């Protein structure tokens, strides 16, 4: 099997503030095959790239992401020096240089994400294979599947690989995205024999990277893309 693809987790989270344009640029400079980001819908309707459901951990603000408009979110400072980007700003920055894994973190993000993907495919030369949509939220993945069955889907799990595969069958997902601690050589092989790619997260230590490679996973998602 070929070497696993290298995915930068929230850009290059281990080097620069996660999910920022600067972090995405760093990941691209480090030669990633793909970048994983998270999206929420803000109060004014735009999809913003941010992990947490509140702004408290990463910014100088406080409160739930969904309660702020885009202009209000843009006024916050991420770890003092950075700004919260929109999904379209990140897509324009990546510009087909690598795959983008969009995790639907917030509720009601599916339909707007599908609309944006369709726009970039129709007008900007992107292809479906440039995208993968993942989520822990089964409803969001089901909404994407019902909206556009061509968009590649990945089922996130940190608890049970078999349950994730059972759900993946209902939405014709192409991949399972398990936490690396769930994996063994046997269950990776079993999932792949059923037709699923295994894209695992968040793999940061040299020992864990080596072990995931020995399991022949399809992609490794890490905070330090240069370690992959």
Would you please indicate which residues are annotated as catalytic (active-site) residues?
9, 51
**CA–CA distance, 3 with 158 (Å, rounded to integer):** 24
Q: Which residue is it, tokens 């913003």? A: 48
Nearest to 102 by CA among 85, 80, 124, 122: 85
Nearest to 110 by CA among 62, 77, 144: 144
Tell me whether strands 34-41 and 47-49 are parallel, antiparallel or unpaired.
antiparallel
Q: Report the SS3 class of residue 164.
A: helix
Q: 85: which 2 tokens? A: 């980007």
Q: Is 156 exposed, middle or buried (0-12, 13-18, 19+ CB in 10 A)?
A: buried
**CA–CA distance, 189 with 184 (Å, rounded to integer):** 9
Q: Give ∠ CA 180-184-185 in degrees, rounded to 5.
A: 120
Q: 212: which 2 tokens? A: 């995931």
């Amino acid at each position: 099997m070929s070497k696993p693809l290298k995915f930068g987790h929230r850009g290059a989270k281990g080097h620069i503030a996660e999910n920022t344009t600067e972090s995405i640029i760093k990941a691209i400079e480090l030669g990633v095959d793909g970048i994983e980001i998270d999206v929420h819908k803000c109060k004014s309707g735009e999809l913003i790239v941010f992990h947490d459901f509140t702004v408290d951990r990463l910014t100088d603000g406080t409160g739930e992401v969904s309660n702020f408009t885009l202009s209000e979110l843009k006024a916050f400072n991420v770890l003092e020096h950075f700004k919260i980007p929109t999904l379209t700003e990140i897509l324009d920055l990546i510009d087909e240089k690598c795959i983008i894994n969009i995790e639907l973190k917030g509720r009601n993000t599916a339909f707007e994400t599908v609309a944006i993907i369709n726009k970039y495919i129709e007008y900007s030369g992107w292809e479906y294979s440039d995208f993968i949509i993942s989520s822990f939220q089964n409803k969001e993945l089901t909404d994407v599947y019902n909206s556009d069955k061509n968009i590649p889907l990945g089922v996130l799990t940190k608890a049970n690989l078999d349950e994730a595969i059972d759900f993946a069958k209902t939405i014709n997902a192409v991949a399972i995205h398990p936490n690396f601690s769930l994996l063994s050589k046997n269950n990776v092989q079993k999932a792949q024999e059923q037709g699923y790619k295994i894209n695992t997260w968040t793999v940061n230590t040299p020992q864990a990277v080596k072990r995931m490679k020995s399991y022949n996973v399809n992609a490794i998602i890490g905070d330090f893309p240069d370690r992959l």
